[in-house]
Amino acid sequence: MPDTPTTTGRLGRYQQVVRILLRYGFVDLVSQPPLNKVPGLGRLVTGKDGTAELEWTRYERIRMALAELGPTFVKLGQVAANRPDLLPPELIAELEKLQDEVPPMSSTDFEAVIEAAYGERRHEFFDEIDPKPVAAASIAQVHRARLKSGEVVALKVQRRGIRSIIEADIGIMYTLAELVERLLPPDFYARPTEVVRAFEQQIKKELDFKLERIHMEQFRKLFARERKVHIPRPWPEYSTDTVLCMEFIEGIRLGDLAGLKANGIDPKKLARRGIQLYFRQFFEFGLYHADPHPGNIIVWPDGTICLLDFGQVGRLTPYDQELLGELFVAAIQLDARGIRQVLVRYAMVETGEDGPRLEYEINDLIATYAELPIEQIDFRDLAARIFDLVYRFRLRLPSNLLLLAKTLVIAEGMGLRLDPSFHLLQDLQPWAMKLVSQRYGPAAIAKKLGKGVLDMLRLSARLPRYLEELLEKANEGRLRIEFEHKGLNAFYHELDLIANRLVLALLIAALILGSSVVVLARIPPLINHVSAIGLAGFVLSGILALWLLVNILRRGRY
């Protein structure tokens, strides 16, 4: 596969993408009235296995289309599944089913990548490299190797040409997203380009092996004093832009309950140790491993937890941690107003008239859990319902919060797999309370007051200069005040539509009057004593009038 796609290759990829989207789009069209009532039309659209695709829901067809489009679009679906503030819950549920397991590279492609990465140095660095991968995903696959010094290492090898493939597919995604946005009304909530941009940012980080190596070093420092937590050692001297060399980790997969028990490891205790490990990353470090599925967590026979794959890492600022503490405490205490206030602050928007209604819906939601003890509250169900409200009230939350929410949901699933009686909120409560007490304790308040006093002193020192500059601009006539109008896009759109219709109506009237004059004057050429120019004017005005009438009736505004 070439490193840079040719123009012909890109064109072929465009044709393939458009063909698949058109087919699934035609399915969606046929599934809606009135075409769904046409006998036999549904048989024209069948899947690869011959099944009738009309039997699937719209959201299932979206998931199927992404899977058929290939690894890049599957990745897009996985990123989009982390945006419950932009997409409906039913679509999120389908996108979460997308899997990242793909066949490994061919041996020819693998050898080409290794040769390009190391060249002659390959035999200086390694005694052997196993051509059979230990694991394979859409971006890279892992191989076992042995250094000249005797250490066994893991080589994470990027797929051949994957960067250029992803670059080409991202270009296609932007083109399609911009096309869809042109068809959407100006005030429409969701923006497809935002989803593509979030995907581009995430996948570029996953392609950056230098960044992943830095993350591994950071986590090794953070857990340096932890005896029961291990982060693989990276080998920078044997790593390149396309191959990441690291310590090879062997052990028991987190989901292997039989293996854990055979080595004397209590799954219930391990579940609590694992979740405490993640809470520490959230609330103490502000840096967390964001992909905690069982394949990325290995347990040694002595109970040590090893974290693998640092392609996805999340960061939390002190302000994020403060708001999270407040959100978790409000959720635990079933405080509707507290939940609404934190969500609105996180979204950085004004809810206006929707504020009381949002609070009422949150209050109605948590009434379901009000009489339940905390250990019986299903965190995943509670989070899903809150994000449903976020979507319906159009609160756009920052991506770091959404990544954290996804990580928590995966971590809860990990805990439940190890211990069916595991309850995340029960373990979360003391951490959230501790975080809030740290933020609002006497020491924290004194520190904030001290900082506020320093800020006031600094401002008071600068205030005379600011006032002098303001008065000078006013005196010289250079003082400008700018107003920004918000929420008027829809009004401007309607005003533009009205103006266009009015201009078209005047043009039609002018055509009719002008054609009438030409016909009465019998200006040649004549057809059966009727001016051909006047007749053409009547036909054109009739077509325009019919188009205007159909447009008005279709919009239902008359």
pLDDT in tens, 277-318: 998 998 889 899 988 877 789 999 999 999 999 988 989 888
Q: Which residue has the tokens 């399609």?
A: 176
Residue 50: pLDDT band (50, 70, 90) is very low
Q: What is the pLDDT of residue 4?
A: 43
274 Cβ neighbours under 8 A, 6+ residues apart:
254, 292, 297, 305, 411, 414, 415, 418
Q: What is the pLDDT of residue 118?
A: 94
The residue-averaged pLDDT of 150-164 equals 92
| Of 509 and 236, more confident | 236
Q: What is the pLDDT of residue 103?
A: 76
452-477 pLDDT per residue, tens? 777 777 777 877 887 887 787 777 77
| Rounded (5°) CA angle 99-105-109 | 150
Residue 483: pLDDT band (50, 70, 90) is low
Q: What is the pLDDT of residue 463?
A: 78
Residue 33: pLDDT band (50, 70, 90) is very low
Candidate from 24-33, 50-59, 324-333, 426-435 with smallest mean pLDDT: 24-33
In 98-181, beta strands by DSSP E: 126-129, 135-136, 140-147, 152-158
Residue 2: pLDDT band (50, 70, 90) is very low
Q: Judge whether residue 390 has pLDDT over 90.
A: no
What's the pTM?
0.67
The residue-averaged pLDDT of 318-347 equals 78
| Of 557 and 142, more confident | 142
Q: What is the pLDDT of residue 44?
A: 46
Question: Which secondary structure element, helix H or strand E, spans residue 531, and what is its range?
Answer: strand 530-531
Give me 200's structure tokens.
């581009």
Candidate from 256-260, 288-292, 394-398, 516-520 with smallest mean pLDDT: 394-398
Mean residue pLDDT across the chain: 79
Q: Judge whether residue 78 has pLDDT over 60.
A: yes
363-374 pLDDT per residue, tens? 887 777 766 776
432 Cβ neighbours under 8 A, 6+ residues apart:
324, 325, 328, 329, 332
Gyration radius (Cα) of the chain, Å = 31
Residues with a known catalytic role? 291
User: How far apart are the C-alpha atoms of 525 and 225, rounded to whole Å?
Assistant: 98
User: How far apart are the C-alpha atoms of 240 and 122, rounded to whole Å?
Assistant: 12
